[in-house]
Amino acid sequence: MFTSEEASRFVPDGDGDPQTDIVLAWELLYRLEPELYDRLAGAERLHPGVHGWLPRGVDRIAEVGAGSGRLTLELTGHGREVVAVEPARPLRQILRRKLAAADHGDRARVIPGFFDALPLPDDFAGLVVACSAFTPAPGHGGEAGLAEMERVCRPGGCVAIIWPNNLAWLAARGYRYICFAGPMSVEFASHEEAVELAGIFFPHATEEVGRRGRRRVPFEVLGINPPRDLAFKVLAQ
């Protein structure tokens, strides 16, 4: 189900086993069970501090690895025009549907693309952002991907990596770090959904999720780092 461009990034050696390669397993999930992924992402909401920190009144915003739009719909309130770049076709379809339903279809475009080959001109946007998508690994960003995000960002604009997975790597490239405090829970739609999705994504925690009997489950119960932080760089004028 991968295009040749996707395969060159996600299975560069020509094969892979999603039972042992968790990164490959996620890429398969986006394409085979996109609605399931969307339910999980919808429950794992970003800390409100992240939304509050993002600049407002931006001319153009580019989001890379937009997925099914956990951040994208919020971004439409921060800029005049939003371009969401997303390689997985099923996720692009979900995102387009959500934007149309929210009546944002005219101000947001959803296009295919990859971190390391962004289909956008130099200096395109005042804010270039990725949420839970960029990593230092070449298939998911890497040096080439960060250079592309900075190329697309105009002088004086901001590149932001939300929910970063490798702070030292970003710090070594001039990125500053912000983390917002406070308790955070995954907000499942119901207790039944919490048990169902825990059984799929966090099997070690299913029993505890069932025992708690609530739809809200603290991130630490599931053993994941909450989406409360970001790394950013303001480009020189």
Ligand X SMILES: C[S@@+](CC[C@H](N)C(=O)[O-])C[C@H]1O[C@@H](n2cnc3c(N)ncnc32)[C@H](O)[C@@H]1O
Residue closer to ligand X, measured from CB, 116 or 185:
116
Smallest gap, in angstroms, from Cβ of residue 177 to ligand X?
Answer: 18
Asked whether position 161 contacts ligand X by CB under 6 A, the answer is no
What are the phi and psi torsion angles at 98 (to 5°)? -65, -40
CA dist 197 and 206 (Å) reads 9
CA dist 45 and 70 (Å) reads 8
Residue closer to ligand X, measured from CB, 209 or 230:
230
Q: Which amino acid is at 46?
A: L
Smallest gap, in angstroms, from Cβ of residue 78 to ligand X?
Answer: 15
Asked whether position 133 contacts ligand X by CB under 6 A, the answer is yes
Binding-site string for ligand X from residue 86 to residue 125, where x marks contact by CB under 6 A and - marks none = xxx--x----------------------xx----------
Smallest gap, in angstroms, from Cβ of residue 119 to ligand X?
Answer: 11
Report the residue from 140, 215, 228, 233 that binds ligand X according to the rule CB under 6 A: 140
Distance in angstroms between the alpha carbons of the first and the last residue of the chain: 43
Report the residue from 65, 79, 157, 164 that binds ligand X according to the rule CB under 6 A: 65
Residue closer to ligand X, measured from CB, 71 or 82:
71
Residues contacting ligand X: total by CB under 6 A: 20
Find the binding residues for ligand X in span 177-206 (CB under 6 A). Answer: none
Asked whether position 70 contacts ligand X by CB under 6 A, the answer is yes
Given a contact cutoff of 8 angstroms between Cβ atoms, the answer to whether 57 and 77 are in contact is no
Binding part of the chain for ligand X, among 61-69, 177-185, 191-199, 228-236 by CB under 6 A, reads 61-69
Residues at the site binding ligand X, with contacts judged by CB under 6 A: 9, 30, 41, 64-67, 70-71, 86-88, 91, 114-115, 131-133, 139-140
